[in-house]
Chain A
Amino acid sequence: MYSESMTKRITISVPDDVAERLEAAGPRQASSYVSQAVRQAAEREKTEQALEELFERFGRPSPAELDHARRLTDQAIAWQADQLRNRGSAT
């Protein structure tokens, strides 16, 4: 069974500016930075693949259609955040 505490030591090459940041952060923090960055990249990749799958099946919405949907989604997110804030302050 996998456990979060399982780790593996690997050697990678990175550009100078990245190396500088990782060295400044120290070994423990550097591992955490790299793990987080790789997980975020994997998550983004999964999202992009899902979007491609969606558009392959339905066709690609026009930029105007996507803009409209993005506005609606942003409104829904803002309304939700507002409501949750109000619920939080009421308790």
Chain B
Amino acid sequence: MSDAPPATYVFDLHPLLSYARSDSLFVPSLVATSLQRNRYIAVSTVTLAQAYRELSEDEALVLDMLCGGRLATAFVMKPLDAPAARRIGRQARGLGSDPSLSTIHTAEIAEHDVATVVTGDRETVRSLLGPDWPILEV
């Protein structure tokens, strides 16, 4: 795991897509209040890559702002290093069905940073982090 500062939220794929597509003001409101509280939002680089894959060129411009614009001050990107890749790959195989690698990496980051998960896949996150872990569903 990198030396990046700990985050209060970890965004999975769904909040990133919602953010980029301007689906609602809920996700921007979470970003705004995190900024106001001087807190970070972590994003797995696997999730980021997956989001770029699913967004149109125009929508993806919003993600560019997260990586380099002023909004980047609210976000901390968490890379997937080789040991983590090994862990989450094995974990995905063990889960049987077809869990998203980005959701598994998101859960791992949440566990490390003790952060609330923002996701559209509550069930997978629950199965990874247990029933009491705070999750916001988008």
A interface residues with partner B (beta carbon < 8 Å): 46-47, 49-51, 53-55, 57-59, 61-62, 65-66, 68-70, 72-77, 79-80, 83-84, 87
Contact = CB atoms under 8 A, between A and B. Distances in A.
Nearest to A87: B114
Given A76-B9, A76-B116, A54 B32 contact: yes
Given A50-B73, A53-B70, A72-B136, A77 B29 contact: no
Interface stretch (B34-42, B76-84, B97-105): B34-42
B28 interface: yes
Contacts of A59: 22, 25
Interface residues of B, number: 30
Nearest to A62: B25
Contacts of B69: 53
A77 B41 CA distance: 12
B4 interface: no
B1 interface: no
B37 A73 contact: yes
B103 to A, nearest CB: 19
Contact of B116 (A50, A61, A79): A79
A54 B33 contact: no
Given A54-B71, A74-B37, A87-B114, 7 more contacts: A47-B38, A51-B35, A69-B29, A69-B32, A70-B36, A73-B8, A83-B114
